[in-house]
């Protein structure tokens, strides 16, 4: 076998190995069982209307926490995407948009929220350590909790709505 043929064979084997690793990763990520879900840390915050709420208040509902900031351009897009989900599944899920930037004020968040009148879900400042607790390094980051309050999935950056919808529908169907 000449060098060129050996090189092509090695490259083919490498490509197949990489594809198998990717497939295994996707299988693990997409098909992990409910037993693999992690119990979320409960928290209590105050929303922009002055109402206190806790994650545990929403047991029995699917919950989306959207870690965002008002200056974040991708967060604008993600908020617009969440409106579609909210309008379709309102009553079956809870959405909480948390401003994860400690330098921002409630007034800034209120102004941001006013640009999205259809986004009438819970808006609050992360006055706790949630961004730290949930290891938020990118915004937007969406964390979806199942009806038992366990973390079902996490998405960093703008997430395709169909991915979120598929996950939400599956979690809503779970008894």
Give pLDDT, residue 93: 95
- Do 38 and 25 fall within a single domain? no
Q: Which domain holds residue 14?
A: 1-31
| CB-based contact 121:92 (threshold 8 Å) | no
- Do 58 and 140 fall within a single domain? yes
- Do 160 and 116 fall within a single domain? yes
In the predicted model, residues of the chain with pLDDT beneath 50 are 24-35
- Do 23 and 40 fall within a single domain? no
Q: Render pLDDT for 71-109 as a digit per residue (tens, 0 to 9).
A: 999 999 999 999 999 999 988 999 999 999 999 999 999
- Do 54 and 21 fall within a single domain? no
Give pLDDT, residue 129: 85
Find the Cα–Cα–Cα–Cα dihedral 132, 133, 139, 142, rounded to 10°.
-170
Which strands make up the sheet holding 141-145, listed edge to edge?
A: 38-39, 150-156, 141-145, 62-68, 93-99, 122-125
- Do 159 and 143 fall within a single domain? yes
Global model pTM greater than 0.85? no
Give pLDDT, residue 80: 94
Give pLDDT, residue 128: 85
- Do 104 and 50 fall within a single domain? yes
Give pLDDT, residue 9: 74
Give pLDDT, residue 21: 59
- Do 159 and 89 fall within a single domain? yes
Give pLDDT, residue 16: 57
């Amino acid at each position: 076998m000449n060098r060129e043929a050996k090189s092509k064979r090695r490259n083919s084997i490498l490509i197949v190995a990489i594809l198998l690793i990717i497939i295994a990763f996707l299988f693990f990520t997409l098909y992990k069982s409910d037993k693999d879900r992690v119990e979320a840390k409960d928290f209590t915050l105050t929303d922009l209307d002055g109402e206190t709420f806790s994650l545990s208040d929403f047991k029995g509902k699917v919950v989306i926490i959207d870690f965002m900031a008002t200056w974040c351009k991708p967060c604008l897009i993600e908020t617009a995407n969440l409106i579609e989900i909210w309008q379709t599944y309102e009553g079956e899920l809870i959405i909480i948009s948390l401003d994860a930037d400690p330098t921002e004020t409630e007034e800034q968040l209120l102004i941001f929220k006013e640009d999205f009148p259809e986004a009438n879900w819970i808006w609050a400042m992360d006055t706790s350590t949630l961004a730290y607790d949930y290891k938020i390094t990118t915004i937007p980051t969406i964390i979806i909790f199942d009806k038992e309050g366990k973390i079902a999935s996490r998405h960093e950056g703008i997430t395709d709505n169909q991915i979120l919808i598929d996950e939400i529908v599956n979690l809503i169907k779970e008894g």
